[in-house]
Amino acid sequence: MLLLKFLTNRFKSIKNSFKKEPEISFTRSTFLLAITELFMVVLGILLALYIDRWNATQNFEKQFEATLRIVQQNLESDIYNSDNVIAHYHSRDSMRHDVMMNKLDRKYYESGTNSWQKLIVFYNQYEIATEGYTLLLDMKDEIPKKYSEIFKKVKKMYRIIPNLDEYNKNFKNVIWSIHDELTLGKWFWLDSYYGETSNAQVEFFVDNAYYKSLVQKVVNASALLESLTRSHRIKAIDMYNEINNILGYEEEIPENITYILNDTISINYVGKYKLVDGEMGTWFPKYYVKNSVLEIGIRDSLMFLIKDEKQKVPLYYFNRVKDHHYYPIKKNHVFISNVGYFEFYKNGKLRIGAAGPETIWQKQ
């Protein structure tokens, strides 16, 4: 406003100077003065435009930074909600192992089982928060140059959405298709009505090849969702920390936003482990084992499964905080990876759950 007032006064000054001077006094010096005044006016206009543009840029940068903070809050929510999806799968996979190995006898089912224990009539979903991402997309045509790289990374991370929607839908459809099939059985509605477990139902669950195939079908659908959830959890933790590195730390980072365990604890789990119980699957962990021994290493605070003296498979610490009565938080330290689930016991034992049978290992 002051700059505009100044420019207006200068225009009036030039106009008055021309009015006061006789026509014959229009000398070289007067011409130069007019040019100088005109230059100052143009310069002032350009300066005003620059300041206006600078202010707009500063405001937009602040708006973008505020939106990144919303993305960060969404990621915190995603990480928290991933807890039970991951724990759900590995707990279900452990029960699948018991079913396949015929460890659940008639007495187990006769005593009454809930929907979770039946394995084939329970599903969950993983929904991620996208409010911040949606706001960023609305700003895509005016991304501040210094934030162009982080914007690309955020966009890449949220490419998960179509696949996640598909895997959620698939898991739900698998469970409901099995449910619809079970309703055709003679025992389903009667047992539900009377609240009892008939011999026909027990026979269906005990050592039944078809029931086992349904269990495997459900676990496969759960595994697809868990793999995508686990991947997003790791990327979300990295992105959360990267946003903090760019914008600064506003508050203390929640304890679950990490996949690295304290080195003083992790170092206790480094070493070689020998198979003591269970049978390895055709691929995992057999591929990483030599003479029934596998090795765990550590580099830059991140643990790895070792093969041929090289860090092959990263193990991410599963610092879970969201509990569930069907699959409570483990007392032992648990690590997740793209090939399996590693639970370390204080007595030196290691339990590995994967797509094949569970195995127990003893530290050497």
pLDDT at 2: 47
Residue 316, strand partner residues = 336
Residues 178 and 300 occupy one common structural domain: no
Predicted confidence (pLDDT) per residue in 298-334, tens digit: 999 999 999 888 888 899 999 999 888 888 998 999 9
Quick one: 172 and 268 in the same domain?
Answer: no
Q: Are residues 90 and 193 in the same domain?
A: yes
| pLDDT for the residue 42 | 63
Domain count of the fold of the chain: 2
Q: What is the pLDDT of residues 102-130, one digit of tens each?
A: 888 898 888 878 877 888 988 999 999 99
Across the range 68-74, mean pLDDT stands at 96
Q: What local confidence, expressed as pLDDT, does residue 134 receive?
A: 95
Report yes or no: 11 and 41 within 8 Å, Cβ to Cβ.
yes
**Is pLDDT of 212 > 90?**
yes
Structure tokens at 282: 């055709």
Residue 70 covered by a domain: yes
pLDDT at 315: 93
| pLDDT exceeds cutoff 70 at 20 | no
Pairing of strands 333-336, 271-277: unpaired
pLDDT tens digit sequence for 234-265: 999 999 999 999 998 877 889 899 999 989 99
Q: Are residues 237 and 336 in the same domain?
A: no
Tokens for 278, please give them: 């269970």
- Specify the pLDDT at position 51: 55
- Structural domain for 158, as ranges: 58-247
Domain boundary among 183, 214, 247: 247
Are residue 171 and residue 274 in the same domain, yes or no? no
Average pLDDT in the chain: 85
148 and 285 inside one domain: no
What is d(CA 340, CA 318) in angstroms, rounded to the nearest whole number? 12
Dist. CA 337–CA 360, nearest whole Å:
17
- Alpha-carbon distance of 29 to 44, in angstroms, equals 22
Rounded mean pLDDT of 131-147? 91
Within a domain: 30: no
Q: CA 297 to CA 315: how far, in whole Å?
A: 10
- The residue type of 312 is K
Backbone φ and ψ of 39, nearest 5°: -60, -40
